[in-house]
Amino acid sequence: MAEKFVLATHNPGKLKEMAQILEKFHVEVVMPADLGLDVDVEETGTTFAENAMLKARAVCAASGLPAIADDSGLCVDALNGGPGVYSARYGGEGLDDIGRYRLLLNSLCGATTRAAHFACAIACAFPNGDELTAEGRCDGAIAFAPMGEGGFGYDPVFLVPEMRKTFAQMTAEEKSSISHRGRAMEKFVEKLETYLVK
Ligand code: ITT
């Protein structure tokens, strides 16, 4: 694919996964840092899809290049779907990834279900105003303790029962083959290929 896409995220974990998946599909990407870009977008949407599009539009406008954004999060049944779109901010500003998953484990003490899913919305905005979107989901459960060293965010506590592993115990390829982001990206690339052929 001849066109270059800028990845509209500040999250290094996402950036790495998105770049690896897109490379597999021969989609050429540039990092925001390579363009000297630091666009801070207020995530005012109530859905993953809305927030992903807000980020893609803002970075497309700032760079003049088509921009691909990801909005994602962990939805826990016992927390009525939370932290959901607030996953990055769960527990407030003072917490890091480890603090957030520890808080999650504590808040599930005595819960009658540990079922959860990760959700991901991908949005792409083009300078001519065209837009593409795709969504993906991965079902699993919250482990009783963190396991594994890979990945980022809530990966050590997100267990995929069929694989008997947390996301953090998987290789990057294993995670992408079943993850919310991997699935959303695959659908997105299918739409992108059709769009670019026209
Ligand atoms: P950008 O908005 O700059 O892309 P962000 O981290 O703020 O980065 P989100 O608002 O989409 O992104 O928040 C998603 C949060 O959900 C992220 O910070 C992680 O805590 C969590 N998350 C999403 N995908 C994940 C994954 O594959 N593994 C672990 N945690 C994930």
Number of helices (H), then strands (E), belonging to the chain: the values are 5, 8
Q: What is the pLDDT of residue 153?
A: 98
CA gap 56, 60 in Å, rounded: 6
| pLDDT 10s digits, 17-75 | 999 999 988 899 998 889 999 899 999 999 999 999 999 999 999 999 999 999 999 99
3-class SS of residue 80: coil
Ligand 1 atom 31, closest CA: 153
Residue 71 designated active-site: yes
Residue 1 has pLDDT above 70, yes or no: no
Q: What is the pLDDT of residue 197?
A: 85
pTM: 0.97
3-class SS of residue 162: helix
Ligand 1, from 70, 72, 154: best to mutate by most atoms within 8 Å of Cβ?
Answer: 72
**Conformational region of residue 174, where left means phi above 0, alpha means psi within -120 to 50, and beta covers everything else:** alpha
Tokens of 50: 């809305």
Mean pLDDT over 73-87 rounds to: 98
The dihedral through the CA atoms of 60, 65, 66, 71 has a sign that is negative
Q: Residues with Cβ within 6 A of ligand 1?
A: 9-11, 14, 43, 55, 70-74, 87-88, 118, 151-155, 167, 179, 181
CA 32 to ligand 1 centroid distance, Å: 17
Show Cβ contacts of residue 154 under 8 Å, excluding neighbours closer than 6 positions.
74, 87, 97, 100, 101, 104, 118, 167
CA gap 147, 12 in Å, rounded: 21
Can you spell out the DSSP letters for 19-72? HHHHHHTT-EEE-GGGGT---------SSHHHHHHHHHHHHHHHHSS-EEEEEE
- How many C-beta atoms lie closer than 10 Å to residue 86's C-beta? 12
Which of the four pLDDT bands, split at 50, 70 and 90, describes residue 2? low
